[in-house]
């Protein structure tokens, strides 16, 4: 079962500062209010399609997944949100106590590994963690957690500390390797003087521009850059870490219906749309993610099959302990 957020106050205390930009104005009476931890640039198009396909008026409030999760916990039953659309499974698990169970026919649309044990959320798309690198200067790419913190990569690795996928990756290290190992690894990572960036796109651009040798990102940013600029203009290469190492974590974006919503029927209809062939093809072709519904394939991007990635075997439900991860990152000076 997904762990309940055992210390919501800590989550709010750590994340409250950025909440002002998330939007708190009153929602329209007829609108389905979505708290989106996914970037508007990535999912604005599919949420527009949701309105057109279902006839449901949608009001979207954007922020990071951590910000949205903290806001849901702070607001409690006073929230105006009807749906939480998260960048990763960890933020969904952290607020599972605020989510309603989804119907079996909705959950069954995706593989068991892409839905919550407690039936509170369902994955909408999947993404792989990768090591992005500049082949013009990098002759050896780190292939494990231990190699990333090797002194020979000191000052050469970029990361995005506020990114939900980075935080979920660190949580996976805690879950798979234990608290002591995670604390020690973060200490070594910090000592290796990694370069901080606002997001994955900034890391990718820095590598492409010759300003950074290596970066820890999600795969789909590279495919989007290639689609926009052409393969010849993109100097960055991707390395998929295999062997079950957390560097190769495959995580999901997902969605959950807020418990007590007076628009529960419309919210469930929205979830069904996000798992429809139309929406799944959007994720496959427009955002270059892996569709959560396995029968849908991309007609635009040549992604390696998930079956060939060999990332860590992990129950994504166990990525819910976001508050412990944030505290550990803060302690290591990496938040």
Q: Are residues 104 and 157 in the same domain?
A: no
What's the domain count of the chain?
Answer: 2
Q: Are residues 258 and 113 in the same domain?
A: yes
The mean pLDDT of 77-82, rounded to a whole number, is: 96
Q: What distances in angstroms separate CA 59 from CA 172, 183, 261, 316, one per listed residue?
A: 32, 40, 14, 28
pLDDT exceeds 60 at position 59: yes
The first and second tokens of residue 77, run together, are 């039953």
Contact 252, 111 (CB under 8 A): no
Phi, psi (rounded to 5 degrees) for 105: -70, -20
Q: Are residues 235 and 131 in the same domain?
A: yes
Of 320, 290, 324, the C-alpha closest to 307 is 290
Q: Are residues 121 and 268 in the same domain?
A: yes
Domain-located, residue 335: no
Contact 309, 242 (CB under 8 A): yes
Length of the chain measured in residues: 335
pLDDT exceeds 60 at position 50: yes
The mean pLDDT of 256-275, rounded to a whole number, is: 97
pLDDT band at 155 (very low <50, low <70, confident <90, very high): very high
Q: Are residues 137 and 237 in the same domain?
A: yes
Domain-located, residue 135: yes
Domain-located, residue 3: no
Domain-located, residue 327: no
Q: Are residues 88 and 116 in the same domain?
A: yes
pLDDT exceeds 90 at position 25: no
Domain-located, residue 162: yes
Q: What is the pLDDT of residues 195-242, one digit of tens each?
A: 999 999 999 999 999 999 999 999 999 999 999 999 999 999 999 998
Of 194, 193, 211, 189, the C-alpha closest to 202 is 211
Q: Are residues 259 and 120 in the same domain?
A: yes
Contact 116, 95 (CB under 8 A): no
> Which CATH number covers residue 156?
3.40.190.10
pLDDT exceeds 50 at position 292: yes
Q: Are residues 85 and 231 in the same domain?
A: no
Q: Are residues 64 and 154 in the same domain?
A: no
Q: Terminal CA-to-CA distance of the chain, rounded, Å?
A: 28
Binding residues for Fe cation: 220-221
Q: Are residues 107 and 12 in the same domain?
A: yes
Binding residues: 220-221
Q: Which domain holds residue 189?
A: 127-248
- Return d(Cα 2, Cα 254) in angstroms, integer: 15
The alpha carbon of residue 62 and the mean position of all alpha carbons in its chain are separated, in whole angstroms, by 14
């Amino acid at each position: 079962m997904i762990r309940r957020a055992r210390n919501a106050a800590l989550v709010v205390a750590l994340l409250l500062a950025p909440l002002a930009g998330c939007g708190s104005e009153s929602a329209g009476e007829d609108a389905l209010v979505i708290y989106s931890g996914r970037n508007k640039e990535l999912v604005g198009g599919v949420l527009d399609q949701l309105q057109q396909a279902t006839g449901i008026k949608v009001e979207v409030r954007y922020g990071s997944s951590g910000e949205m999760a903290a806001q849901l916990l702070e607001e409690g039953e006073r929230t105006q949100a009807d749906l939480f659309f998260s960048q990763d499974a960890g933020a969904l698990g952290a607020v599972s106590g605020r989510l309603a169970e989804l119907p079996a026919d909705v959950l069954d649309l995706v593989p068991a590994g892409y839905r919550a044990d407690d039936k509170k959320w369902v994955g909408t798309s999947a993404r792989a963690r990768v090591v992005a690198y500049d082949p013009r200067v990098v002759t050896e790419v780190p292939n494990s957690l231990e190699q990333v913190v090797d002194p020979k990569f000191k000052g050469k690795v970029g990361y995005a500390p506020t990114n939900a996928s980075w935080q979920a990756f660190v949580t996976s290290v805690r879950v798979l390797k234990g608290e002591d190992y995670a604390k020690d690894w973060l200490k070594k990572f910090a000592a290796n003087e990694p370069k901080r960036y606002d997001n994955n796109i900034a890391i990718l651009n820095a590598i492409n521009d010759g300003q950074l040798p290596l970066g820890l990102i999600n795969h789909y940013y590279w495919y989007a850059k290639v689609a926009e600029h052409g393969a010849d203009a993109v100097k960055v290469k991707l390395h998929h870490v295999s062997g079950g190492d957390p560097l190769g974590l495959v995580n999901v974006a997902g969605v959950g219906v807020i418990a007590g919503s007076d628009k529960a029927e419309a919210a469930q209809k929205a979830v069904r749309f996000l798992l429809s062939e139309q929406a799944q093809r959007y994720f496959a072709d427009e955002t270059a993610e892996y569709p959560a519904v396995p029968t849908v394939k991309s007609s635009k991007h040549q992604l390696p099959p998930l079956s060939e990635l060999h990332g860590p075997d992990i129950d994504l439900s166990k990525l819910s302990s976001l508050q412990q991860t944030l505290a550990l990152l803060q302690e290591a000076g990496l938040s």
